[in-house]
Amino acid sequence: MNALVELVLALIDLIKAELKHARQTWFRLGLALALVGVAAVLLTVALGFVLASVLIGLRSLGVDLGLSAFLTGLLALVLAGSVFMVATIKGRQ
């Protein structure tokens, strides 16, 4: 009878340890996803500043506003296409 009680207690301890490990794993996963989200927002803001500085730089060189906006938009499109292409290639691997 003692062996059965010890077996049940060992099983309960094992379940507690597994639940603690699973909770830590989910917490780390959630933290990592939150940090990736923050990094994505910061990257988007930084890209916006870079594109704005390109537009301002072209304007300071005397390029027409419409052409400056077009070239800046074209640069943004090329950057987005590059990221999409890399994501597509990595997604197939």
Where do the structural domains in the chain lie, given as residue ranges? 2-92
Query: What is the distance between the alpha carbons of residues 43 and 80, in angstroms, rounded to a whole number?
Result: 13
Query: What is the distance between the alpha carbons of residues 79 and 74, in angstroms, rounded to a whole number?
Result: 9
pLDDT of 60 reads 96
Question: Cα angle at 57 between 53 and 58, to 5 degrees?
Answer: 120
Does this model's pTM top 0.75? Answer: no
pLDDT of 81 reads 92
pLDDT of 59 reads 95
Q: Which two tokens stand for residue 83?
A: 């990221």
Give the distance from CA 26 to its chain's centroid. 17
Least confidently predicted of 17-26, 28-37, 38-47: 17-26
Is the confidence at residue 1, as pLDDT, over 80?
no
For the segment 33-69, what is each residue's pLDDT rounded down to a tens digit? 999 999 999 999 999 999 999 999 999 999 999 999 9
Answer positive or negative: Cα dihedral of 7, 8, 13, 16: positive
CA-only gyration radius of the chain, Å: 27
Length in residues, the chain: 93
Mean pLDDT (whole number) for 16-27? 86
Amino acid identity at 46 = A
